């Protein structure tokens, strides 16, 4: 990082239901981070209502930008570039953030950097709070497990902004499976935290739900374990009318965590990774974090809880490396609601 030019990035994130802004220096030192959550707004629908999310972003985007600058004790004139999420995500939500970023870039005469949301999750492991001791950077080659509501994949990183996707989910992402199982068990939205909370009081060995190992590939599949929970729930309701929700949640969680952990560890060994990185919303799951932190074979980087879910700090971190390495977007750039991480251009040689 010493050979990259210093820069202060103002970043925006609006890919789903969080309106966020952050200011970050040199891709690592976080000066401020503001997130306006819509969780309560969408809870009544049992999931994100896209049109409602878009309208709320319009209401929140200016206040979060103003608050982020105020918290960082900076003015617009002290920012070097604007980073923003281009995708993947909900098209309407992405448009709000991107248009706001374009307006700022045009009005301030600053470079605009479009960032892939998934890349942002990965770069959350580079972020630390300004003023605290600087932690060591993740070291390449790096095995990155990206695990969220919409994505579950393994990527080998041999350098900054360089990804080789080894495998991904063939059906449900891990976070999606958590949400669907939560609904089966009558647990509130969002499903991931609800299943985790119930699992803390449950027996993870009471039900043996299937593990889809998909031998000889690095792919994942969580549709089967979700369906197995559905069958078990229906059988229990027919027999007794009541559900041991805690045990079901714990057993389901154990099945998902075991597959994520083992496949990542095996891939790290197979491809000679120095370290492991776990990122995305599901990286907040305590059982998953505990599994990786308990092993001693690899150093593991997992973001603090505040950076696991959607935020702008991670967009600023990824945006810094894009900006420092010459990846600047034109002002006519458009959103990309579907944008695979593996199709991103690596840093120029």
Per-residue confidence at 347, pLDDT binned at 50, 70, 90? low
- In angstroms, the CA 19 to CA 15 distance is 8
pLDDT tens for each residue of 8-28: 999 999 998 899 999 999 999
What is the pLDDT at residue 346? 61
Fold of 142-302: Nucleotidyltransferase; domain 5 (3.30.420)
- In angstroms, the CA 14 to CA 54 distance is 9
What is the pLDDT at residue 242? 87
- In angstroms, the CA 31 to CA 332 distance is 29
β-pair partners for 33: 22
- In angstroms, the CA 44 to CA 209 distance is 30
pLDDT tens for each residue of 175-225: 999 999 999 999 998 899 999 999 999 999 999 999 999 999 999 999 999
- Start-end of H helices in 159-222: 174-184, 191-199
Sketch the domain layout of the chain as residue ranges.
Answer: 8-127+307-343, 142-302
Average pLDDT, the chain: 94
Q: How are strands ordered across the β-sheet holding 128-129?
A: 112-116, 81-87, 8-13, 18-25, 29-37, 128-129
What is the pLDDT at residue 1? 46
pLDDT tens for each residue of 135-149: 999 999 999 999 998
Per-residue confidence at 47, pLDDT binned at 50, 70, 90? confident
- In angstroms, the CA 46 to CA 319 distance is 32
User: How many other CB atoms are there within 10 angstroms of residue 269's CB atom?
Assistant: 12
Backbone conformation region of residue 3, classed left if phi is above 0, alpha if psi is from -120 to 50, else beta: alpha
What is the pLDDT at residue 319? 98
**Cα 127–133–138 angle (5° rounding)?**
45
For the chain, the straight-line distance linking the first and the last C-alpha, in angstroms and rounded, comes to 16
Q: For tokens 């991107």, what's the residue? A: 98
Whether 46 has a pLDDT exceeding 60, the answer reads yes
Q: For tokens 């969220």, what's the residue? A: 148
- Start-end of H helices in 200-244: 223-239
Per-residue confidence at 91, pLDDT binned at 50, 70, 90? very high
> Is-same-fold flag (8-127+307-343; 142-302)?
yes
Q: What are 178's two structure tokens?
A: 């958590």
Give Cα 337 to chain centroid, integer Å. 15
pLDDT tens for each residue of 294-331: 999 999 999 999 999 999 999 999 999 999 999 999 99
- Which residues have CB under 8 Å from 44's CB, separation 6+? none
Backbone angles phi, psi at 133, to 5 degrees: -60, 135
- CA neighbours closer than 13 Å in the CB half-sphere of residue 34: 20
CATH superfamily of 8-127+307-343: ATPase, nucleotide binding domain (3.30.420.40)
């Amino acid at each position: 990082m010493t050979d990259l030019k210093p820069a202060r990035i103002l970043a925006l994130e609006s890919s789903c239901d969080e309106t966020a802004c952050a200011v970050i220096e040199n891709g690592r030192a976080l000066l401020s981070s503001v997130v306006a959550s819509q969780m309560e707004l969408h809870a009544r629908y049992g999931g994100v209502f896209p049109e409602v999310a878009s309208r709320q972003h319009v209401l929140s985007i200016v206040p979060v930008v103003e608050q982020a600058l105020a918290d960082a004790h900076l003015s617009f004139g002290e920012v070097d570039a604007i980073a923003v999420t281009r995708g993947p995500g909900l098209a309407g939500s992405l448009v709000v953030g991107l248009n706001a970023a374009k307006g700022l870039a045009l009005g301030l005469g600053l470079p605009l950097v479009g960032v892939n949301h998934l890349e942002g999750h990965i770069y959350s492991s580079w972020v630390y709070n300004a003023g605290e001791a600087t932690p060591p950077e993740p070291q390449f080659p790096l095995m990155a497990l990206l695990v969220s509501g919409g994505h579950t994949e393994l990527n080998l990183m041999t350098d900054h902004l360089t990804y080789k996707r080894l495998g991904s989910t063939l059906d449900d992402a891990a976070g999606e499976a958590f949400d669907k199982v939560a609904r089966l068990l009558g647990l509130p939205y969002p499903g991931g935290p609800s299943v985790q909370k119930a699992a803390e009081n449950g027996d993870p060995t009471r039900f043996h739900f299937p593990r889809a190992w998909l031998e000889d590939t690095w792919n994942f599949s969580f549709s089967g374990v979700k369906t197995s929970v559905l069958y078990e729930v229906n059988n229990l309701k027919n027999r007794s009318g009541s559900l041991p929700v805690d045990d079901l949640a714990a057993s389901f969680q154990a099945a998902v965590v075991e597959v994520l952990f083992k496949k990542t560890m095996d891939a790290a060994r197979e491809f000679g990774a120095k370290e492991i990185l776990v990122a995305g919303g599901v990286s907040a799951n305590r059982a998953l974090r505990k599994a990786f932190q308990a092993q001693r074979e690899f150093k593991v980087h997992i973001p603090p809880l505040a950076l696991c879910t959607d935020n702008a700090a991670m967009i600023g971190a990824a945006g810094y490396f894009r900006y420092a390495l010459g990846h600047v977007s034109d002002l006519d750039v458009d959103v990309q609601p579907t944008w695979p991480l593996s199709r991103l251009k690596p840093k120029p040689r």
